[in-house]
Chain A
Amino acid sequence: MRFLSDTWYVAWRELIKFFRAKVRVVVTMIQPLLWLGLMGNVMQGFAKNPYVQQMIGTQSYLAFMTPGIILMTVLFGGVFSGISVIWDRRIGYLEKMMAAPISRGAIPLGKMLAAAIQGGFQVLLIVLIALGLGVRFASGPAGIILIVLIAMVFSTILSGFSLSMAVRIKTQETLMALVNFLTMPLMFTSNALFPREAMPSWLSAIAKVNPVSHAVAPIRELVLHGWNWGAMYTGIFVILGLAVSMGLFAQWMFRRATAE
């Protein structure tokens, strides 16, 4: 119980700050809006080609890329949660938390939880935007809930990774550089924006194992085709497994780094 309470209050602090920064919340939504509005519409021209339709499995490129944009948003959100650790260390807050009788493992888990909730909130907004742009979600409202949940779990993977790195990396600049270095390739070697069928074979091979693709698969299924568990369970299983491992890894990194 105490562990859960500790985790929740670590997250509570991050969430207060997140929702207090209303400008930031709005600005983070502009990018996905641009992606959907501009790229989605430009690429729509290609989707008139029946061959392309066959590759992306739908007549609407917008619907095809919505899952990609959802994951891109939580990817960028989650990956920056390590910054808060570097900040906390600098202002002495990390030490303050560790001087208190809270479980050390609750610190990364709380921050992961916060990243997930922030991500879930942003995904809901993207879904609303997508609905406004005419995307139809084949799996209905229940499917939207599952989409949000998958995206939330996915964001904990990146947040866990970022937090684990932040334990070792002492400056914000280095962490940002590392994170930027990783996110773009992670995004573009996945099938988030382009179908694997359109990729050269080497890229397609990378895209197949890329965790982003694993998260895309069930979400795309829910958007385009509906409740087809056969096409979804591998992705969901991989994402859950990665999230749990990252959670354990981040806790281990925190305990190890603070046991001096």
Chain B
Amino acid sequence: MKRAIEVEDLVKIYKGGVRAVDGISFSIGEREIFGFLGPNGAGKSTTIKCVIGLLKPTAGTIRVLGVDIRHDPGVVKRSIGYAAQETAVDDRLTGWQNLYLQGRFYHLPRREIRRRGEEVLRLFGLWDRRKDAADTYSGGMLKRLDIACALIHRPKILFLDEPTLGLDVQTRQTIWDYIERLRGEHEMTIFLTTHYMEEADVLSDRVAIIDRGKIVALDRPGALKAGIGGDLITVRFSAGDGLEPLIRSLKGLPGVREIRGAQDGIHRIVVEQHGDRLIPEIVRLAQEHGVDIHSIRLKRPTLDDVYLHYTGRQIREAEGSREELIRARVMSRRIRR
């Protein structure tokens, strides 16, 4: 299969020394929806910006549709569409003017803009509102207009940076439907970043989990979930002398693949299958070692767990080390430039 995007050993170090992207490689096939999943400041937007030529990579090679972006940025720019994290719509222009301007920036002839503009506005359900100033649009409409603008020149690859950030659940669902239609009816390759697990799970053919500038896992969502085991039992034990021997004996139980500790006595027990049958045994062993159980929970794996498994952190976790906070802040400031 022809590759839409190939990235090899991409490194981006910002002035001031923040390693936003730290040697990542991946390749995306044509007509694939590729999800880039990670918390804020993981390096998702930076990667996108390197691929579409807004940032100069510190090292590494990027090929878009077989063309090295350093050799021919113009050709690459014409074959991709980009909708940024910030909804970049000029809200003092009308919907149509926004679209028309975008068409002009891609040097399309007027007739082509008119034809194509009607097509995308109808597709995104904005045709009836095209003559209204964009400042009368709702958040979801603005996002749709922004994506419509990114499609005016019929790009082969569409880059969506956090397309549903800050939108309500229904609007998010609508945007998802549009994204799926774009791939289905318009044969588009879509590169999507998100920090919503569900979004990556529902939309993507393959997901790359990115953490602190590195890809820690990359596969189909199903395979990623299967890869961390069948079931996951999350137990919160009270602290005590019995805890360590308890964990040791839990590890000896049949079917237990791995036990990972986290803060506050929370332990994640990865079980190959039939986690439900193991719960009585866990309770019995805990009593034997004199350890109290605060809570116990059984879960079929989700991408959330995959993320947690590979990074040791919850994606929405607000707390982090000071260093990480600074990193996230520096990067969001960078990106806004």
Q: Give A contacts to B, CB under 8 Å.
A: 2, 5-6, 9, 12-13, 16-17, 20-21, 89-93, 95-102, 170, 259-260
Q: How many residues of B contact A (CB 8 A)?
A: 29
Complex interface: chain A residues within 8 A of B101 (CB): 9, 12-13
Inter-chain contact B55/A260, CB cutoff 8 Å = yes
Chain A CB within 8 A of B300 CB: no
Complex interface: chain B residues within 8 A of A2 (CB): 107
Inter-chain contact A16/B97, CB cutoff 8 Å = yes
Docked complex Cα distance between A21 and B107 (Å): 28
Inter-chain contact B84/A92, CB cutoff 8 Å = yes
Task: Known A92-B84, A100-B105, A101-B105; judge A13-B56 contact (CB<8 A).
Answer: no
Pick from B54, B102, B105: contact of A95, CB under 8 Å? B54
Task: Known A92-B88, A101-B77; judge A17-B93 contact (CB<8 A).
Answer: yes
Docked complex Cα distance between A100 and B155 (Å): 11
The 5 closest A-B pairs by CB, nearest first: A92-B86, A92-B88, A100-B105, A96-B88, A101-B77
Inter-chain contact A93/B90, CB cutoff 8 Å = yes
Task: Known A16-B93, A90-B336, A101-B78; judge A259-B56 contact (CB<8 A).
Answer: yes
Inter-chain contact B104/A98, CB cutoff 8 Å = no
26 examples of A-B residue contacts, CB within 8 angstroms: A5-B107, A9-B101, A9-B105, A12-B101, A12-B104, A13-B90, A13-B97, A17-B93, A89-B337, A91-B89, A91-B90, A92-B84, A92-B86, A92-B87, A95-B88, A96-B84, A99-B53, A99-B77, A99-B84, A100-B102, A101-B74, A101-B77, A102-B105, A260-B15, A260-B55, A260-B56
What distance in Å separates the Cβ of B52 from its nearest Cβ neighbour in chain A?
A: 6
Docked complex Cα distance between A170 and B336 (Å): 10
Chain A CB within 8 A of B82 CB: yes
Complex interface: chain A residues within 8 A of B56 (CB): 259-260
What distance in Å separates the Cβ of A7 from its nearest Cβ neighbour in chain B?
A: 11
Complex interface: chain B residues within 8 A of A16 (CB): 92-93, 97
Inter-chain contact A13/B86, CB cutoff 8 Å = no
Inter-chain contact B54/A20, CB cutoff 8 Å = no
Complex interface: chain B residues within 8 A of A97 (CB): 105
Complex interface: chain B residues within 8 A of A9 (CB): 101, 104-105
Chain A CB within 8 A of B106 CB: yes
Docked complex Cα distance between A227 and B114 (Å): 48
What distance in Å separates the Cβ of A22 from its nearest Cβ neighbour in chain B?
A: 13
Chain A CB within 8 A of B25 CB: no
Docked complex Cα distance between A5 and B101 (Å): 11
Task: Known A98-B54, A99-B77, A101-B74; judge A91-B105 contact (CB<8 A).
Answer: no
Residue of B nearest to A21 (CB): B92
**Interface residue ranges of B90-118 to A (CB < 8 Å):** 90, 92-93, 97, 101-102, 104-107
Inter-chain contact B336/A99, CB cutoff 8 Å = no
Query: Most B CB atoms within 10 A — which of A9, A90, A91, A101?
Result: A101
What distance in Å separates the Cβ of B40 from its nearest Cβ neighbour in chain A?
A: 16
Chain A CB within 8 A of B85 CB: yes
What distance in Å separates the Cβ of A129 from its nearest Cβ neighbour in chain B?
A: 28
Q: A17-B93, A99-B53, A99-B54 are in contact. List 12 more A-B contacts (CB 8 A).
A: A2-B107, A5-B107, A6-B105, A16-B92, A16-B97, A21-B92, A91-B87, A93-B89, A95-B88, A101-B77, A260-B15, A260-B56
Inter-chain contact A100/B77, CB cutoff 8 Å = yes
Pick from B87, B89, B102, B104: contact of A5, CB under 8 Å? B104
What distance in Å separates the Cβ of B108 from its nearest Cβ neighbour in chain A?
A: 11
Docked complex Cα distance between A40 and B56 (Å): 56
Docked complex Cα distance between A17 and B92 (Å): 6
Complex interface: chain B residues within 8 A of A260 (CB): 15, 55-56
Docked complex Cα distance between A121 and B106 (Å): 30
What distance in Å separates the Cβ of A105 from its nearest Cβ neighbour in chain B?
A: 14
Inter-chain contact A99/B82, CB cutoff 8 Å = yes
Residue of A nearest to B152 (CB): A100
Docked complex Cα distance between A20 and B92 (Å): 9
What distance in Å separates the Cβ of B321 from its nearest Cβ neighbour in chain A?
A: 27
Residue of B nearest to A99 (CB): B82
Inter-chain contact B106/A100, CB cutoff 8 Å = yes
